Chain A
Amino acid sequence: MTNLTDLTVAQIRDGFRAGDFTAREVAEGFNANVAAAKALNAFIVETPDHALAAADAADKARGEGALLPLSGVPIGMKDLFCTAGVQTTAASHMLEGFTPTYESTVSGKLWAAGAGMLGKLNLDQFAMGSSNETSFFGSVISPWKRNDGGNAALAPGGSSGGSASAISARLCPAATGTDTGGSIRQPAAFVGISGIKPTYGRCSRWGVVAFASSLDQAGPMARTIRDNAILLESMAGFDPKDSTSLDLPVPNWETALSSDLRGKKVGIPKEYRVDGMPAEIEALWEKGIALLKDAGAEVVEVSLPHTRYALPTYYIIAPAEASSNLARYDGVRYGLRDLPDGANLQDMYAATRAAGFGPEVKRRIMIGTYVLSAGFYDAYYTQAQKVRTLIARDFGRAFESCDLLLTPTAPSAAFALGEKQADPLAMYLNDVFTVPASLAGLPAMSVPGGLDSQGLPLGLQIIGKALDEQGVLNAGLAIEERAGFSARPDQWW
């Protein structure tokens, strides 16, 4: 008998519709996998009853011929999305115990489409991190191991590390992620799955715990391109409650999937050949170029001259927005309150925020506060916003001579937990290839390209023009079909 937890979203959806199995069987299978995988620490809260209730509703709907797009499909929800009645923490002590009385737009759309929730997935605290080590609830462990005989626990990437780890380990067929500077793409690359950050404004930010509002964008993560297209169709769409939501129809991305890239031009940005790029990443990139050529695409070199300034720009803008967004955690309206004896209101604020935020969150709030403070605002923040304009302009010029861009997703395979923790800057550099598309609001995805010599997955990134998720997904499909990536981690958990 087929192992239901090995199926993709499309296979679950279609098999369930065909009557090959019930939705309840699927939900029970994934609930069991979730319960047996505590060692990965991928979930902060497990919600087996939510998954079962959605499954029972799906089984009933099938009997009545009233199926929804995601009927029968259980998913994982990153714990950055507010879920009514289910604790939402952003992996922070600050929000430990916070139980929203409302549902985020994106999660609400997924439930309305028939999906069930297996649980709330662990992440870097307030989505700030690239390794999942900043979670208050402990690091997520990647299901992958190096093939060197060692037993080093590897980072699943971040910030959507719980999502990545859970999908790779078959604890859920798909999950939501959010991406501010690479938080969907880098973890997807680290664990050998796919994930897409759509164009800024495609998915509503309403009810998503805010990190850097001009960059934050939700997107799906799953094992196949088709599954990403299916999920994104249910997540995207105009929302009057988000002032930056795009008032555009949601395309039928799944129906229009095509790996025929004849007539498409793929640009290779020469500035992404950074100094000290490992030979294996270089080789992966060459392989990606060959695969896209094989699919009919023409490959051209392009220039994005301000690429090297993207990371420092990001590390001014994102902390600045974070320092403003996180001002809401004051110990008054929700979340933690630390009220020392005899403390006044100001003391309470400072004590609450000292106790509720982890070191990386404090570091970013303080950087943001500094770059926004009187006397420094123009030199740092305004300058960064100007350079951001130049970075976006670079992409606009490059897209005059090509339709898509191909780059590696990350400068290395997954690193071991603890390896980069001592130096915040070294951790920031992991986002070197993903941050530019975030700053320009462009759709971008990571798709598995192969394994490195240590047996670890490597990802290729495709960046598209604004609103051209279809082009990104199609190129992803062309790579997926040709790379034939079928590796999966051996179960040790």
Chain B
Amino acid sequence: MAIDLQTVKKIASLARISVTDGEAEALVPELNNIIGWVEQLGEVDVTGVEPMTAVIPNTLRLRDDVVTDGNVRDKVLANAPQAEHGFFAVPKVIE
């Protein structure tokens, strides 16, 4: 399916990236080129093939359900653009 301007704007909105109309228009042919190229995968017969989940067989490990870190609030907040009273601060979200 070809990607049109509306689709580009929808993708940008889903990805939370603001784009100007000019940027969105420039992205239409770029994304179509790339998506058109990857669509060749559709011709591969994958009947009975399981999707890859791990390249090297590995099992997810379990550990004891105990606290292993914490008490590093100031370190966690050290790079925050805006931290107040020991919290991350964001614009008001409840009107």
A interface residues, Cβ below 8 angstroms from B: 98-102, 199-201, 214, 240, 243-244, 246-247, 306, 309, 312-313, 315-316, 323, 327, 330-337, 339, 343-351, 353-354, 357, 362-363, 365-367, 369-371, 373, 379-380, 382-390, 392, 424-425, 428, 439-441, 466-467
Smallest Cβ-Cβ distance to A214: which chain B residue? B55
Which chain B residues lie closer than 8 Å to A439 at the CB level? 55
How far, in whole Å, are A247 and B61 apart by their CA atoms in the complex?
Answer: 10
Smallest Cβ-Cβ distance to B89: which chain A residue? A332
**Which one, B17, B37, B61, B92, contacts A362 given CB within 8 A?**
B17
Q: How far is the CB of B91 from chain A (nearest CB, A)?
A: 5
Tell whether B38 is near chain A: CB-to-CB under 8 Å: yes
How far, in whole Å, are A332 and B87 apart by their CA atoms in the complex?
Answer: 10
CB atoms of A370 and B16 under 8 A apart: no
Tell whether B66 is near chain A: CB-to-CB under 8 Å: no
Name 30 A/B residue pairs within 8 A (Cβ), A-sorted: A99-B78, A246-B58, A312-B41, A315-B38, A332-B88, A333-B76, A333-B79, A334-B80, A335-B79, A343-B91, A344-B92, A350-B18, A353-B17, A363-B27, A363-B34, A365-B17, A370-B3, A373-B11, A373-B14, A380-B38, A383-B41, A383-B44, A383-B46, A385-B53, A388-B51, A390-B49, A392-B55, A425-B37, A428-B34, A441-B55
CB atoms of B35 and A243 under 8 A apart: no
Q: How many residues of B are counted as interface, with CB atoms below 8 angstroms from the partner's CB atoms?
A: 51
Which chain B residues lie closer than 8 Å to A384 at the CB level? 38, 41
B interface residues, Cβ below 8 angstroms from A: 3, 7-8, 11-19, 27, 30-31, 33-35, 37-42, 44, 46, 49-56, 58, 60-61, 63, 72, 75-76, 78-82, 88, 90-93
CB atoms of A370 and B41 under 8 A apart: no
CB atoms of B34 and A424 under 8 A apart: yes
CB atoms of B31 and A389 under 8 A apart: no
CB atoms of A387 and B34 under 8 A apart: no
CB atoms of A345 and B90 under 8 A apart: yes
Which chain A residues lie closer than 8 Å to B72 at the CB level? 101
Taking A353-B17, A466-B56 as known contacts, 12 extra A-B pairs with beta carbons closer than 8 A to each other, sorted by chain A number, are: A98-B79, A101-B76, A243-B61, A309-B41, A312-B37, A315-B34, A316-B41, A323-B15, A348-B90, A370-B31, A380-B41, A441-B56
Which chain A residues lie closer than 8 Å to B79 at the CB level? 98-101, 333-335
Q: How far is the CB of A445 from chain B (nearest CB, A)?
A: 17
CB atoms of A240 and B60 under 8 A apart: no
CB atoms of A387 and B46 under 8 A apart: yes
Q: How far is the CB of A470 from chain B (nearest CB, A)?
A: 16
CB atoms of B91 and A333 under 8 A apart: no
CB atoms of A244 and B54 under 8 A apart: yes
- Answer whether A344 and B17 are a contact pair too, CB < 8 Å, given A201-B56, A386-B51: no
How far, in whole Å, are A380 and B11 apart by their CA atoms in the complex?
Answer: 15
Which of B7, B8, B37 has the most CB atoms of chain A within a 10 A radius of its CB? B37
Which chain B residues lie closer than 8 Å to A306 at the CB level? 44
